[in-house]
């Protein structure tokens, strides 16, 4: 049985095999496709495992920041007022600094969840395509089972959670800045929040760009023979 490769899947198969193929024999498909399918499944499971570990680490860090922020708010500066006003101002700025730290970490958490969701979607798409041309549709069938109103995306849930945490830290950071510095400080904090997001977005996008390889890599043995 021969299956004609869809035009939408042609670029993926071409980049994977390094040659243009219009049809594939099923079940005696190219062994490279079966190997790629196995690697894609393993890598997808590895990404999912790293995803929940990373989320647990960030949530633990957020709980720690919430506890530290709450402890800083319980400080009574009027009971034992320091002799220098500069020290009083420094103590009043502690909640602001903690809130900004939480804001920065929450932005990183948001970018992490978006990046993880993109990678998981890429692996899912790779598995769907590879199963189509290796005679196995198990992954597709399992995902379509019970796909009704409760078929929520786990990646979308993680992004929603990260966005909610990020918004709470934005509100707290601007609120504490307003209580310590007034309206001008609140406007400045909004500007700092926007610039922090933009700068992180640009820098992380730069580091995530793919590296183009101009020349093919030469194995070590072939390289020695040429020398």
Q: What is the rounded distance in angstroms from the CA atom of residue 95 to the CA atom of residue 101?
A: 10
Q: What pLDDT does residue 165 have?
A: 95
Q: What is the rounded distance in angstroms from the CA atom of residue 160 to the CA atom of residue 46?
A: 22
> 183-196 in b/e burial notation, b at 16+ Cβ within 10 A?
eebbeebeeebeee
pTM assigned to the model: 0.76
Q: What is the rounded distance in angstroms from the CA atom of residue 69 to the CA atom of residue 143?
A: 42
Is residue 80 within a helix (H) or strand (E), and if so which, with residue range? Answer: none
Q: What pLDDT does residue 73 have?
A: 83
User: In tens digits, what is the pLDDT along the chain, a chain of 227 residues?
Assistant: 667 777 777 777 777 777 777 777 666 566 778 888 888 888 888 888 888 899 999 999 999 999 999 888 887 655 555 556 666 666 778 888 999 999 999 999 999 999 999 988 888 888 888 887 777 666 666 666 655 666 777 888 899 999 999 999 999 999 988 888 788 888 888 899 999 888 888 888 876 554 443 343 334 444 445 44
Q: What pLDDT does residue 206 have?
A: 74
For the chain, how many helices (H) and strands (E)?
Answer: 7, 2
Q: What is the rounded distance in angstroms from the CA atom of residue 37 to the CA atom of residue 40?
A: 5
């Amino acid at each position: 049985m021969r299956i004609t490769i869809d035009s939408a899947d042609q670029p993926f198969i071409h980049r994977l095999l390094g040659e243009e193929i219009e049809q594939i024999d099923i079940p005696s498909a190219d062994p490279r496709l079966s190997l790629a399918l196995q690697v894609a499944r393993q890598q997808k499971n590895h990404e999912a495992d790293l995803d929940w570990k990373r989320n647990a680490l960030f949530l633990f860090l957020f709980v720690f920041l919430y506890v530290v922020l709450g402890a800083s708010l319980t400080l009574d500066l009027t009971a034992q007022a320091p002799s220098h006003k500069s020290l009083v101002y420094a103590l009043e700025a502690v909640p602001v600094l903690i809130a900004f730290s939480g804001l920065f970490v929450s932005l990183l958490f948001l970018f992490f969840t978006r990046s993880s969701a993109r990678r998981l979607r890429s692996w899912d798409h790779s598995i769907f395509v590879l199963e189509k041309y290796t005679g196995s549709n198990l992954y597709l069938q399992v995902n379509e089972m019970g796909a009704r109103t409760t078929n929520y995306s786990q990646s979308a849930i993680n992004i929603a959670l990260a966005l909610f945490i990020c918004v709470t830290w934005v509100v707290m950071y601007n609120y504490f800045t307003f209580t310590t510095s007034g309206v001008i400080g609140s406007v400045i904090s909004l500007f700092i929040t926007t610039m922090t997001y933009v700068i992180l977005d640009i820098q992380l996008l730069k580091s995530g760009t793919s590296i183009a390889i101009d020349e093919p890599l030469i194995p070590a043995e072939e390289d020695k023979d040429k020398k």
